[in-house]
Amino acid sequence: MVFVQKNKIFTFLITGGSGFIGSSLADHLLSLGHRVINIDNMNDYYDVSIKEDNIKDAINSSNYRFYNLDICDFKKVDHVFSENKIDFIIHLAARAGVRPSIESPLLYQDTNGLGTNVILEMAKRHQIKKIILASSSSVYGNNKKTPFSETDAVDFAISPYAASKKANEVLGHVYHKLYDIDMIFLRFFTVYGPRQRPDLAINKFARLINSGEPIQMFGDGTTARDYTYIGDIVSGIVKSINYLINHHEVYEIINLGNNHPISLFKMIKTIEEALAKKAVIEQLPMQPGDVYITYADISKANSLLGYSPTTTFDEGIRKFAVWYKNNQEKSK
């Protein structure tokens, strides 16, 4: 278990705290005795009952407060900050998904752009000097150099979602320089594991394979993703918290990945083995906005944070499969 500075209790505000990563992080922080405030508008991007299930244990804790509201609502968010003494912000809330962002770019700019600006304004207004923000491996686009390093150019996004994440990194630097706010942007690489969103490939493929329905394989199966297990991501976030506690004048962008890309074909085979069922594959062309590979250089995360993922893909899929079998109805 990764600890946040022992013998001290912090109050963490997590935006998007009912989602996959946010709820997993909240449970971990609560288990360490910290206080957690969750702001989440429980939108219907996927079944709201899944998010409700994610927080069902946390919401019974006296150290947990939940606010069902939109991060773009400045007055209501300001009220949350005014009535709570917050030590740390973990900003995870966002409209997620590459393909949907191509269909609804204005919606993504609103939530991901304006929403992040509201949170940064709150940090300034309420003198909160420590903040971690979620970025994404999607900012690298179809980067020709692998593995992807934080020093690589990320000016060639191929989706509105990716562009919104890059814009947030730039905006964050403004607040760091003007208002002395210490911050880390974490570029997450394809997070998976228990509670994974139902629209993401591993969860979706498991559901279809389990029911005998065909899965859509875009491309020839050679595209690859740097799948990163949720436990390793939570560990990386907590290590980032510790880094910010112990350092000042910080603005860092850090990859959190697994450093081992897995092909689409290998991903399907691993799920088949975990479920002991064969996939029916419908092969289709590559989709707009999709990249051919994501591959994290995690040397910076290792040197600065001591981050070193421990869960292999096979092990992570086995853990996911156990969770999936116990939660099939909730994963639809």
How far is 154 from 224, CA to CA, in rounded Å? 19
Q: In which band, very low, low, confident or very high, does the pLDDT at 287 lie, cut at 50, 70 and 90? A: confident
The whole-number pLDDT of residue 148 equals 97
Indicate if 324 belongs to the active site.
Answer: no
Chain centroid, CA 49 distance in Å:
19
Identify the pLDDT of residue 99: 87
Tens of pLDDT, residue by residue over 66-91, are: 999 999 999 999 999 999 999 999 99
Question: What would the mean pLDDT of 106-122 be, rounded to a whole number?
Answer: 97
Beta strands in 40-192 (DSSP E): 64-67, 88-91, 130-136, 182-188, 191-192
How many C-beta atoms surround the C-beta of residue 107 within 10 A? Answer: 14
What sign has the CA pseudo-torsion 209, 214, 220, 223?
negative
Question: What average pLDDT does the chain have?
Answer: 95
8 pLDDT tier (thresholds 50, 70, 90): confident
| d(C-alpha 136, C-alpha 289), whole Å | 14
Task: Please answer whether residues 316 and 191 qualify as being in contact, where contact means their C-beta atoms are separated by less than 8 angstroms.
Answer: no
**332: pLDDT strictly greater than 60:** no
Torsion on CA atoms 308, 16, 321, 316, rounded to nearest 10? -10
Domains of the chain, each with CATH number or no CATH: 11-331 (3.40.50.720)
What is the pLDDT averaged over residues 218-222?
A: 91
Q: Per the structure block, which two tokens stand in for 74?
A: 């400045």
Q: How far apart are CA 189 and CA 192, in angstroms?
A: 9
How big is the CA angle at 45 (ends 40 and 50), to the nearest 5 degrees? 70
CA pair distance 55, 46, nearest whole angstrom: 15
Contacts of 63 (CB under 8 A, 6+ apart): 30, 33, 34, 35, 36
Q: List % helix, strand, coil for the chain (3-state, nearest 5).
A: 45, 20, 40
Active-site residue (options: 46, 64, 161, 324): 161
Q: What is the pLDDT of residues 149-175, one digit of tens each?
A: 999 999 999 999 999 999 999 999 999
pLDDT at 329 over 70: no
Residue scoring higher pLDDT (65 or 220): 65
User: In this model, does residue 138 exceed pLDDT 90?
Assistant: yes
**Any idea what DSSP says for residue 56?**
T
% of the chain residues with pLDDT over 90? 89
For the entire predicted model, the pTM comes to: 0.95
Q: Is the pLDDT of residue 331 over 80?
A: no
**pLDDT above 60 for 62:** yes
Q: Are 54 and 26 in contact (CB under 8 A)?
A: no
Instruction: Identify the pLDDT of residue 327.
Output: 86
**Residue 140: closest CA among 313, 303, 299, 292:** 292
CA dist., res. 16 & res. 27, Å (int)? 13
Span 300-320, average pLDDT: 98
Model pLDDT, residue 97: 86
Tens digits of residue pLDDT in 177-208? 999 999 999 999 999 999 999 999 999 999 99
